[in-house]
Chains A and B, each alone.
Chain A
């Protein structure tokens, strides 16, 4: 079993919809929880990070962490075609990131 599980999708939504992404993890040692966005054939770009359980908002993006359930989510409100990308969840223990497989999202105009 992988340390981080993420539904690979793909996910296709109309412009303006809410995109909901999630990951589960098994390692209680993970301290930080990140979401990266990766466009095709590019490196991952850090979108958001959270440390404790709860919600964190940044513009159209909301990250949620539930440490008791080992479950994290990312919501994208008012989705735009430019949000079409692969979204990777990542967890940080001491120094290295453990990634999910990524969910490919397409926002249709």
Chain B
């Protein structure tokens, strides 16, 4: 399977704990995006990388959130001191920055976070 993969698929944590999610994009894609989706809503943009550079962060991404993409390959999203409001599906997507169809973002299966 050469699509976007995310791990873990599910995470249950207690409030106040730190969690880290991983995303492996499609191998030739140099853009990587993180979105968050809550029940009954569409995904909301959090941040994106082009290669290893983080180029944009949404105001939704509070100081407790940090994302990295070392070496421009996989990416991690860490949430520190989790709150119940962080419970959501965290989606990763990837795309090419240039080419005939740079707008096509391919999504992974998501990591469902539950904060108790």
Interface on A for B, CB 8 Å cutoff?
Answer: 4, 6, 8, 31-32, 34, 36, 41-46, 49, 88, 90, 92, 95-102
Contact = CB atoms under 8 A, between A and B. Distances in A.
A46 B104 contact: yes
Interface of B: 4, 31, 33, 35, 40-45, 48, 55-56, 89, 91, 93, 101, 103-110, 112
Contacts of B56: 95-96
Contact of A43 (B103, B104, B107): B107
B103 A99 contact: no
A102 to B, nearest CB: 5
Given A44-B91, A92-B103, A101 B42 contact: yes
B110 A43 contact: yes
From DSSP, what is the main secondary structure of chain A's interface residues?
strand
9 contacts: A8-B40, A43-B4, A43-B91, A44-B43, A45-B107, A46-B105, A90-B42, A92-B103, A98-B45
Contacts of A32: 103
Contacts of B55: 95
A45 to B, nearest CB: 7
B42 A43 contact: no
A43 B110 CA distance: 6
Contacts of A102: 40-42
A100 B109 contact: no
Given A97-B43, A100-B42, A102-B42, A49 B110 contact: no
The CB with the most chain A CB atoms within 10 A, among B40, B42, B45, B104, is that of B42
Contacts of A42: 109-110
B47 to A, nearest CB: 9
Contacts of B33: 95-97
Contacts of B93: 97
B105 to A, nearest CB: 6
The CB with the most chain B CB atoms within 10 A, among A31, A32, A44, A92, is that of A44
